[in-house]
Amino acid sequence: MIFIAGASGFVGGHLVDDLISKGHKLKCLARSEKAGTYLSGKGVKVIRGDITAPETLSGALHPGDFVIHLVGILEEKGKATFQSIHVEGTANLLEEAKRAGVRHFFYQSALGADINSWSGYLKTKAGAEELVRQSGLSYTIFRPSLIIGPWDGFTKKIVEMLRLSPVLPIPGEGKARFQPVYIKDWLKCMNAVIGNPEGFAGTYEIGGPEHLSYKEIVETLSRSLGHSRPSFTIPMGLMKLGASLFEKILPSPPVTSDQLRLLEQDNITNPDAVEKYFAFKPLRYEDALREFIK
């Protein structure tokens, strides 16, 4: 049985549909009634629980289960902090996995995860990784760069911005490089791990075949939408000032200071990483956009 935590998110939703189509039996953790209803409608077994509430995980796992842990947040809201979700939540799920004696534990981390990072997001992702490594369980960790595809939040935000703005606003100089990987290619990698977990034990950096600057990503997406607009850079200092103000007055600001700082550093790995480890070449960014941008 495959157990998925984070099944109602962007990556989790695609994974659930893909695994169901392949005939896998799934059980998924659902924190809200809405998520539970959505998942049960797909025919999967739903377990109502929350990784930050360890008592709700008791008995959720069994020997032989393959655990896929996708739960993560990009911004903190109230009690949902990077520490509580990424570190404490992962520790709770690992305890239940160890109690049950699961077959394999998969953790979705992030490219650039570093325990010494200035970023709360990357620092806590690294902290969770270390818990997985020290658990004594058979494990696989993915460190993906930007994952794109239908419903992905990154692309959605830029598309909304492009539809409202007569220019292409670029925070800072837009020189930081990313390595967009298409969700279908991520799924191919995930299926390889599910089919042979022992053969993919360890940590794998996942990225597409190109290193693209943030400016190039926005310009390529604009062309894919049929737009032809000049780009306009906004000083990063001004962006950070605005973000800090929004964080104080809005429960869900359009961008956070942490997210802006992530746009100032490269988020890349070997362009041939997927081909090296998983024996196929992932789609280029523009080719992937053609498949899902309408």
42 close to 20: Cβ distance less than 8 angstroms: yes
Say if residues 145 and 208 touch (Cβ distance below 8 Å): yes
Q: Which of 19-33, 95-109, 194-208, 223-237 has the lowest mean pLDDT?
A: 223-237
In a domain, 6, yes or no: yes
pLDDT score, position 169: 78
Report, as an integer, the average pLDDT of 39-65: 92
Average pLDDT over residues 63-79: 91
Give the per-residue pLDDT at 227. 77
Q: In the prediction, which pLDDT does 262 show?
A: 72
pTM of the predicted structure, to 2 decimals: 0.91
Q: How confident is the model at residue 118 (pLDDT cuts 50, 70, 90)?
A: confident
The range of the structural domain enclosing residue 49 comes to 2-144
pLDDT of amino acid 250: 65
Residue type, 103: R
d(CA 267, CA 216): 14
Q: How remote is the C-alpha of 259 from its chain's centroid?
A: 14
Q: For 250-290, write each residue's pLDDT tens digit.
A: 676 667 777 777 777 788 999 999 999 999 999 999 999 99
Q: What is the pLDDT of residues 175-203, one digit of tens each?
A: 889 999 999 999 999 999 999 999 999 99
In our burial notation (b when 16+ CB lie closer than 10 A, e otherwise), range 19-32 reads beeeebebbbbbbe
Asked whether residue 209 is assigned to any structural domain, the reply reads no
Rounded to an integer, the average pLDDT of 32-56 is 90
pLDDT of amino acid 254:
67
pLDDT confidence of residue 205: 96
Mean pLDDT calculated for residue range 146-159: 88
**pLDDT grade, residue 232 (50/70/90)?**
confident
208 to each of 221, 273, 282, 285, how far by Cα in Å?
Answer: 16, 8, 6, 7
| Domain of residue 9, CATH code | 3.40.50.720
Helix (H), strand (E) counts: the chain: 12, 13
Within a domain: residue 15? yes
Does residue 64 fall inside a structural domain? yes
The number of angstroms, rounded, from the C-alpha of 85 to the middle of its chain's C-alpha atoms is 13
108: nearest Cα among 84, 133, 129, 122:
129
**Among 283, 3, 48, 11, which Cα is nearest to 144's?**
11
**Is residue 246 pLDDT above 70, yes or no?**
no
Is 135 inside a domain boundary? yes
* Domains of the chain: total: 1
Q: Give me the percent of the chain exceeding a pLDDT of 90.
A: 64
Residue 88 lies in a domain: yes
258 in a structural domain: no
**pLDDT averaged over the chain?**
90
Nearest to 113 by CA among 145, 68, 135: 145
- Three-class DSSP labels, 46-90: EEECCCCCHHHHCCCCCCCCEEEECCCCCCCECCECHHHHHHHHH
For strands 66-69 and 2-5, give the pairing: parallel
- According to DSSP, the residues that pair with 104 across neighbouring strands are 66
- 101-110, 114-123, 128-137: segment of lowest average pLDDT: 114-123
Alpha carbon separation from 65 to 7, 86, 100 (Å, rounded): 16, 21, 9
Could you tell me what percent of the chain has a pLDDT over 70? 97
Least confident of 9-18, 77-86, 222-231, 240-249: 240-249
* Distance of alpha carbon 177 from alpha carbon 258, whole angstroms: 17
